[in-house]
Amino acid sequence: MKSISMNQITKIFFLCIIALMLGCEDESVDNNINNDADNDGIVNSLDNCPDISNANQLDTDNDGIGNLCDDDDDGDGVNDITDNCPLTPNPDQEDTNGDGIGDVCDENEVAQPLFRCINGMAGPYPCDGIDVMSTIDATTLGGSTATEGSDIWGWTDPSTQDEYAIVAMTNSTAFVNVTDPVNPIFLGRLNTNAGTNFWRDVKVYNNYAFIVADGAGNHGMQVFDLTRLRDVTNAPATFSADAVYSGVGSCHNIVINESEAVAYLVGCTSTNGGGPIFVDISNPMNPTLLGDYTAGGYSHDAQVVTYNGPDSDYTGKEIYIGSNGNTDKVVILDVTDKSNIIPISDFTYPQTAYAHQGWFTEDQAYFILGDEVDEQSFGFNSKTLVFDFTDLDNPTLSATYFGPTAAIDHNGYVLGNEYYLANYRAGLRVLDITNISASTNPMEETHFIDTFPESNSANFNGVWSVYPYFQSGNIIISDIEKGLFVVRKSDL
């Protein structure tokens, strides 16, 4: 065999090196592995969108393709170009208010109700045009299976515009943040100051709640600073009262005319026989007695307004309308001077049983009254009386409305051209009062939600009271057996 010289070996070695170098110039793929084509700091091999800069590598639907390169970012089968909510899956593209933004990501969209009113039913509840947004049962609110609901009122925080339900229970007063009507937050309760009973009533003035109870012993009037509800960190809390006015024992009801900072305590039988007791609440932490009035008899409930109605004789006066229970009459008083109460008039009406509660129309020309026991006593359907108050010295019965059921009427409140009636077993009824001046058909039912579907008979179950005054349009209902309902008209 012929031997190879050292020079030949050296030539062969250099030829191999040259060949390797030439071969590597053709391997462009290996260079691309470590390149960063879009200059976003992420090499191509790891970049989920290598041709478009996307340093955050956002991939909403986790399909391995970055949003900037993905035609369907939320993976709902709808192309981003036409998707009305491209980053949240919504294959049905529902857009209730028609603003081009899907419901699931529309901040202006009304929250979806717990039970929508469809074909006359909102879940288990008969309805007409009212959705059930949420409920909190009476046991939760009162902390006991024996607890039942009674009155209800509302408070809107002037700083945050948050909305709160103040729910009177047999043993306590419960506070619920209902700003998100679908997800109400039970913040806690203020326990009774004495015994328990069916009747507890609450009203609000200047960010304070004022609470009375009837048949509850030496309860007095509890005062609670509602701004404390802003900072509840461990809900539900057990609150204590900020003050207690002990100048009364048990009272059936409390009325507040906010324009004069006076609370009218009525039905305080053990204190003065039940006539109105006037308490200055301009300093809520130190309520002060202004006097009382007994000549008009026991008042079960009342409304007090700074009068601006059609009877110019009383413009600017503080006018008290007392529904005087089983005395079968309604009294009208000028209570401007608490030391010199001036009777204006009183009246009764046919088939009286228990003059329970009433409310002015907003123009103060008419007064809508409910008699709580006449349905049981006389056997007719829910009856509501309309009185012409254009002359306070001479009020007259203008019209009578009969509802579609036999249920008992309880508390009713006016908002605009509507009357919101707590109708016990027939639930909440909303009546259009545009035609209130007519002698026939003065009201027409337009909406309802029946929280006691078992029966519409004349018995004391179901809806006790209603508060329709939240700016949001949400309505809160207190139900004796079922607790708190947050509802809303379907067409809002």
Same domain, 313 and 353: yes
In this prediction, residue 47 has a pLDDT band, given cuts at 50, 70 and 90, of: confident
Classified as helix, coil or strand, 486 is strand
Q: Tell me which DSSP letter residue 115 carries.
A: B
Q: Is residue 18 part of a domain?
A: no
Same domain, 70 and 143: no
On average, the pLDDT of the chain sits at 92
Answer yes or no: is pLDDT of 219 > 50: yes
Q: Is residue 33 part of a domain?
A: no
Burial of 489 (0-12, 13-18, 19+ CB in 10 A): middle
More confident residue, 95 or 264: 264
Same domain, 82 and 170: no
**Cα–Cα distance list, 388 to 143, 412, 465 (Å):** 45, 17, 25
Classified as helix, coil or strand, 444 is strand
- Measured CA to CA, the distance from residue 165 to residue 192 in angstroms comes to 17
Q: Return the ∠ at Cα 419 (arms to 327 and 359), rounded to 5°.
A: 35
Same domain, 292 and 407: yes
pLDDT digits (tens, 9 = 90+) for 228-263: 999 999 999 999 999 999 999 999 999 999 899 999
Torsion of CA 89, 93, 98, 102, to 10 degrees: 0
Q: Is residue 407 part of a domain?
A: yes
Same domain, 225 and 321: yes
pLDDT at position 44 is 85
Q: Is residue 37 part of a domain?
A: no
Same domain, 49 and 163: no
- Measured CA to CA, the distance from residue 467 to residue 201 in angstroms comes to 13
Same domain, 199 and 321: yes
In this prediction, residue 4 has a pLDDT band, given cuts at 50, 70 and 90, of: low
| CATH number for the domain harbouring residue 79 | 4.10.1080.10
Q: Which of 171, 279, 281 is nearest to 225 (CA)?
A: 281
Same domain, 71 and 167: no
Distance of CA 483 to the CA centre of its chain: 13
**Among candidate residues 53, 85, 109, the one where a domain is terminated:** 109
Same domain, 86 and 234: no
Residue 170 · residue 150 · CB < 8 Å = yes
The tally of domains found in the chain comes to: 2
- Measured CA to CA, the distance from residue 212 to residue 301 in angstroms comes to 13
β-pair partners for 421: 412, 429
In this prediction, residue 29 has a pLDDT band, given cuts at 50, 70 and 90, of: very low
**Among candidate residues 67, 83, 109, the one where a domain is terminated:** 109
Burial of 124 (0-12, 13-18, 19+ CB in 10 A): exposed
In this prediction, residue 5 has a pLDDT band, given cuts at 50, 70 and 90, of: low
**Among candidate residues 109, 138, 163, the one where a domain is terminated:** 109
Answer yes or no: is pLDDT of 19 > 60: no
Answer yes or no: is pLDDT of 114 > 60: yes
Q: Tell me which DSSP letter residue 407 carries.
A: P
Q: Which of 111, 132, 184, 167 is nearest to 487 (CA)?
A: 132
Q: Is residue 64 part of a domain?
A: yes
**At 377, phi and psi to the nearest 5?**
-75, -35
Same domain, 282 and 409: yes
Q: Is residue 396 part of a domain?
A: yes
Answer yes or no: is pLDDT of 325 > 90: yes
Same domain, 101 and 165: no
- Measured CA to CA, the distance from residue 148 to residue 482 in angstroms comes to 8
Answer yes or no: is pLDDT of 99 > 80: no
- Measured CA to CA, the distance from residue 192 to residue 222 in angstroms comes to 9
pLDDT at position 101 is 87
- Residue 101: which domain range? 43-109
pLDDT digits (tens, 9 = 90+) for 355-392: 999 999 999 999 999 999 999 999 999 999 999 999 99
Q: Is residue 20 part of a domain?
A: no
| CATH number for the domain harbouring residue 395 | 2.130.10.10
What is the mean pLDDT of the segment spanning 120-126? 98
- The two beta strands, 237-239 and 185-191, are parallel
Give percent above pLDDT 70 in the chain: 92
Q: Return the ∠ at Cα 222 (arms to 424 and 212), rounded to 5°.
A: 30
pLDDT digits (tens, 9 = 90+) for 140-152: 999 999 999 999 9
Same domain, 85 and 190: no
Tokens 């899956």, residue? 89
Sign (positive or negative) of CA dihedral 97, 100, 101, 103? positive
- Measured CA to CA, the distance from residue 133 to residue 178 in angstroms comes to 10
Answer yes or no: is pLDDT of 42 > 60: yes
Q: Is residue 264 part of a domain?
A: yes
Answer yes or no: is pLDDT of 283 > 60: yes
Residue 131 · residue 117 · CB < 8 Å = yes
